[in-house]
Structure 1
């Protein structure tokens, strides 16, 4: 099935939001694939028999997971948070009240 293309211009804010969300999905898939790979390496290298506390794959998953969480927040929770735009609007409001 082909999609129909229209000649209407893209809304720049919606386009930016779409790019953020697509980027997040790619980041999440990469994180999951590498996490599975880390656990396979740990398991294949006799990790379960080497009892020294937490398995090492926990640490890269934790660190990278924090990055994934922030990426999610920027794409879905607070996507319209744009510090430059907010600061510009404040300056405009200050100028108009002078």
Structure 2
């Protein structure tokens, strides 16, 4: 069963995703800075890979859905 999600719900979801991305990564940076400054900047992994997921989320919200025209139904 497919449910259509409204455009405003998609944008709201993207904004929440972005908010949690920023807050979580800022928290990790603060912990790194307070505890482990002299070692490798380990929050980089979360920033990069979660950022990739965020880009795909943005892309999914901003691109138009494909239509099913041209597909055969049996």
Q: Does 1:70 align with 2:49?
A: no
Whole-angstrom distance in 2 between the partners of 1:91 and 1:58 = 43
Aligned length: 70
Q: Does 1:40 align with 2:30?
A: yes
Equivalence map 1:2-41=2 (5 Å): 16-41=6-31
Give structure 2 stretches of 5+ with no counterpart: none
Runs (4 or more) in structure 1 with deviation over 6 Å come to none
Whole-angstrom distance in 2 between the partners of 1:49 and 1:65 = 24
Structure 1 residues 12-47: Cα deviation after superposition (integer angstroms, max 9, x where no partner): 96x6221111100000000000010000110111x2
Task: State which structure, 1 or 2, has the greater radius of gyration over its C-alpha atoms.
Answer: 1
Whole-angstrom distance in 2 between the partners of 1:56 and 1:49 = 11
Say which structure is richer in helix. Answer: 1
